[in-house]
Structure 1
Amino acid sequence: MAGFKDLKGQGHAPTLFMAFLYFDMSFMVWTMLGPLSTEITEALALGGHIMTAGEKATLLSLPILSGAILRIVLGFGVDKLGAKMTALISQSIVIVSLLTAFFMGDNITYNALLIVALGLGFAGASFAVALPQAGQWYPPKLQGVVLGIAGAGNIGVVIDFLFAPKIAEIWGWSSVFGVGAAMSIIVIIAYAFMAKDAPSDIYTARPKKVKDYIKLLGDKDTWWFSLFYAISFGGFVGFAGYMKVYLMNTYSADMSSFGLEMLDETNVKVIAGYFGALCIFAGAILRPVGGNIADKIGGVKSLYFFYSAVAVLVTISALVELPFTLAILVLFLIMANLGMANGAVFQLVPQRFGKDIGIMTGLVGCAGGLGGTALIKTLGWSKGAFDGYTAGFLIFACVVLVAIMGLSLVKTRWRTTWGFKAGGRI
């Protein structure tokens, strides 16, 4: 198995580094609305707009939804314009969106925020640009470690939850968008000078066509993998986006008394960000661990374990009124298992669709984003309809059980057909 030392003398290190930095920065701004949800709600309320639970869920889910769809759009852009030009165009749209929120500040309207949220979707779609650009420079035997480095930008959402609430407390919520815009500008300037598209003698582009996507959509395994990733990545990004809203609505009093008696309400928002970051960090950092476990015991068996753990833990969250410390532990374990499931799904996808991995990454990635959108909307609906999250958690648990049943339906066929000659454990 290739490691970091094998990268020496191979490929183009500046491009690999900038692909990671571009993706990390993009993932950070993509999920920026989540940790600022309480502050934005209060700012709109001062302007006379009281957000309902449904409106809040729509706002938080819109970047996830647009990012999911735009992954396929930017995938075509990489083929037609090259990865670098596609990144520069899409990141420019992200920067304009961030600056719009910053300059409008407390005068911003809900509808304007929806437009900003759509623009932030271009940041979420950076997955379809950064990974191919990094991978183009390196031989097949190094793709795992290269894509692992470039894809480590998922950690950006943790940075959001750690710092965004504190910046908002000191300078105001809109300043977070200003800081994000400034950082994005610095990164994109560095990217413009350091990153390069691989020359034709190293990488030969094979542009994807619409018919290629249609062909793969006719394969039932595409839909199974889309379901599995909609639960694992969708669950991860959905819970991440809604984490602060859930904690503030359910445990704000507990956070105030959790050894924090001297803290005021503003500080509780910051503490909610810290606990959210802790849970999200588990899912982000353990993704490669899940892939490694899948390599050793098989992707299907590992998904059985991860999904079963998620189903049990989510059901506990739904039906048991947990004290705050136990609730955080359960959320931590839910995110950890979802993160490891992400790695397990993508241990299987390249074995089944090795020749079409680029297209499948776009399709399955899109499904993951759609899953996250559905989860946020479900939690928002549950809060609005029943003033609680029991129904939302139970619906997600039922969907996870459907996936477990799906694994039972496909495992024998997979292991006796393409899995028999895939070369890895199924």
Structure 2
Amino acid sequence: MAGFSALRGQGHWPTLLAAFLYFDFSFMVWTMLGPLSSEIAESLAIGGFVISESQKATLLSIPVLAGAILRIVLGFGVDKFGAKKTALASQLLVIIVLFYAYFRGASISYDELLVVAVGLGFAGASFAVALPQAGQWYPPKLQGTVLGIAGAGNIGVVIDFLFAPKIAELWGWESVFLVGAVLSSIIFVAYIFMAKDAPLEVYTPRPKKLRDYGKLLQDRDTWWFNLFYAVSFGGFVGFAGYMKVYLMNTYQADMSAFGIDILNEPNVKVVAGYFGALCIFAGAILRPVGGAIADKFGGVKSLYIFFGVVLALVLLSASVTLPFYLAIGVLFLIMANLGMANGAVFQLVPQRFGKDIGIMTGLIGAGGGLGGTLLINTLGWSKEAFGGYSAGFLIFGGLVLLAITGISLVKTRWRTTWGVSAGGRI
């Protein structure tokens, strides 16, 4: 396994750290609406707008959808203008949106929140900048570990669930946007001094044109990777974004009792944030582990295992309403395996598309965002149409099964073609 010790003396660690921090806090901002969903819904209701389950799902999914589309835009920016300039421009827009939401406060309308949600998509698109900037500094044999570390910035959503509900309880939900704006400003300054684009002797940029995107979209492997990432990252960000809504709708009484008896925390929304953070933490922290496992055993074999576990647990969740503690354990394992699958997918991508990693990170990241958008809206539709989430879990399970079938269809061709020339384990 290409362990973390192998990174010593390689690449540029300040850039790797900057990429992690940039993606970490960007991911925190991107998913900010999820842990605030209940508080925002209550605020809108006070103003006379009662939000439905489908409207709530739409609000939560728009940052994910916008992030998916903008990843392609920022991926193009990385190849055209460099990762650092692209990151700083995007971060500045995010800071402006966060301050706007704070100053509008409780008087903000649902339509304005939809616009804010689009702006937060720029934070989600940071994936298309952080990963290639970190990866450009390191050799192919370390890509799984390096991109896993940079991608582990998605632990930012854990910070959301741990602190956002409590901050909202103490000072109002709009204050969370102020905290996000201040932290994003600090990261903006740190990024200026820490991050560097790889020098020409390490990485030679090849600016791409729109027709280059079209050429890559004609490659069937692009679509396979989009499918795999729509399941792994789409599943992770989709469950993360909808986690609090799901827990509040399904296990509110259990969490209330747990909070009062054990945590001395009577606010069930805060308790829901704690349990959501626990489950999401598994997927966030284990992403680099998944990349390292794929470096040793191969990305294809690793994806078989990770997706297989997810499929079994999703079908279990669809079949029965699990007891509270068992449901938390199942969600924890689902998120853990989705996180490791994220690392495994991006152990394979640089081997197949090393010369086009900027564009491909954007394209594949877009697929992941679209998968998350689909999952959030499917869960919201399932709850509104049937009063539960079984249908939503079944549909996602079908997508996981499709991905496993896809791996079976491509593994032989991959191993006998670009897998040989790449010199890595696939």
What's the TM-score, normalizing by structure 1?
Answer: 0.93
Q: Please show how residues 9-408 of structure 1 align to structure 2 within 5 Å.
A: 11-138=11-138, 143-200=143-200, 203-258=203-258, 260-261=260-261, 267-408=267-408
1:166–1:216: structure 2 CA closer, same or farther, 3 Å change rule? same
Write out per-residue CA displacement over residues 137-166 of structure 1, whole angstroms, 9 at most, x where no aligned residue.
455565555434333311111111111111
Query: SS where residue 250 of structure 1 aligns?
Result: helix
Distance of 2:327 and 2:301 partners within structure 1: 27
Query: SS where residue 267 of structure 2 aligns?
Result: helix
Distance of 1:277 and 1:262 partners within structure 2: 17
Distance of 1:293 and 1:142 partners within structure 2: 12
Distance of 2:206 and 2:274 partners within structure 1: 44
Contact 2:74/2:129, CA 8 A, preserved across alignment: yes
Structure 2 unaligned regions, length at least 5: none
Distance of 2:413 and 2:18 partners within structure 1: 41
Distance of 1:289 and 1:263 partners within structure 2: 31
Distance of 1:141 and 1:406 partners within structure 2: 25
Q: Which moved more, 1:82-91 or 1:27-36?
A: 82-91
Structure 1 unaligned regions, length at least 5: none
Distance of 2:335 and 2:66 partners within structure 1: 23
How far 1:185 moved relative to its partner? 1.2
Distance of 1:391 and 1:402 partners within structure 2: 17
Distance of 1:16 and 1:309 partners within structure 2: 31
1:414–1:130: structure 2 CA closer, same or farther, 3 Å change rule? closer
1:111–1:301: structure 2 CA closer, same or farther, 3 Å change rule? same
Write out per-residue CA displacement over residues 315-366 of structure 1, whole angstroms, 9 at most, x where no aligned residue.
1111212110001011111111111111222222233333333322221111
Write out per-residue CA displacement over residues 104-141 of structure 1, whole angstroms, 9 at most, x where no aligned residue.
11101000000110001101111122233334445556
Q: Report the AA paired with residue 214 of structure 1.
A: G
Distance of 1:417 and 1:139 partners within structure 2: 20
How far 1:230 moved relative to its partner? 0.3
Q: Which moved more, 1:74-83 or 1:100-109?
A: 74-83
Distance of 1:231 and 1:410 partners within structure 2: 17
Q: Which moved more, 1:107-116 or 1:263-272?
A: 263-272
Aligned to 2:415: 415
Contact 1:41/1:51, CA 8 A, preserved across alignment: yes
How far 1:73 moved relative to its partner? 0.6
Q: Which moved more, 1:291-300 or 1:4-13?
A: 4-13
Distance of 1:331 and 1:257 partners within structure 2: 20
1:390–1:37: structure 2 CA closer, same or farther, 3 Å change rule? same
How far 1:220 moved relative to its partner? 1.4
1:65–1:141: structure 2 CA closer, same or farther, 3 Å change rule? same
How far 1:288 moved relative to its partner? 2.2
Q: Report the AA paired with residue 104 of structure 1.
A: R
Contact 2:75/2:361, CA 8 A, preserved across alignment: no
Distance of 1:210 and 1:283 partners within structure 2: 34
Q: Which moved more, 1:344-353 or 1:307-316?
A: 344-353
Contact 1:256/1:263, CA 8 A, preserved across alignment: no
Query: SS where residue 388 of structure 2 aligns?
Result: coil
How far 1:421 moved relative to its partner? 4.2
Q: Report the AA paired with residue 308 of structure 1.
A: G
How far 1:252 moved relative to its partner? 0.4
Q: Cα RMSD between the aligned structures?
A: 2.3
Q: Report the AA paired with residue 211 of structure 1.
A: R
Q: Report the AA paired with residue 119 of structure 1.
A: G
Q: Report the AA paired with residue 191 of structure 2.
A: Y
1:246–1:210: structure 2 CA closer, same or farther, 3 Å change rule? same
Distance of 1:383 and 1:49 partners within structure 2: 20
How far 1:373 moved relative to its partner? 0.5
Query: SS where residue 204 of structure 1 aligns?
Result: coil
Contact 2:131/2:150, CA 8 A, preserved across alignment: yes
Distance of 2:408 and 2:203 partners within structure 1: 39
1:381–1:264: structure 2 CA closer, same or farther, 3 Å change rule? farther
Distance of 2:75 and 2:149 partners within structure 1: 20
How far 1:9 moved relative to its partner? 5.8
How far 1:408 moved relative to its partner? 2.3
How far 1:22 moved relative to its partner? 1.6
How far 1:262 moved relative to its partner? 8.8
Distance of 1:314 and 1:412 partners within structure 2: 28
Q: Report the AA paired with residue 272 of structure 2.
A: A
Q: How many equivalent pairs are there?
A: 426
Query: SS where residue 425 of structure 1 aligns?
Result: coil
Q: Report the AA paired with residue 340 of structure 1.
A: M
How far 1:412 moved relative to its partner? 2.8
Query: SS where residue 19 of structure 1 aligns?
Result: helix
Contact 2:234/2:373, CA 8 A, preserved across alignment: yes
How far 1:413 moved relative to its partner? 2.7
What's the TM-score, normalizing by structure 2?
Answer: 0.93
Q: Report the AA paired with residue 211 of structure 2.
A: K
Distance of 1:148 and 1:72 partners within structure 2: 20
Q: Which moved more, 1:78-87 or 1:259-268?
A: 259-268
Distance of 1:272 and 1:381 partners within structure 2: 21
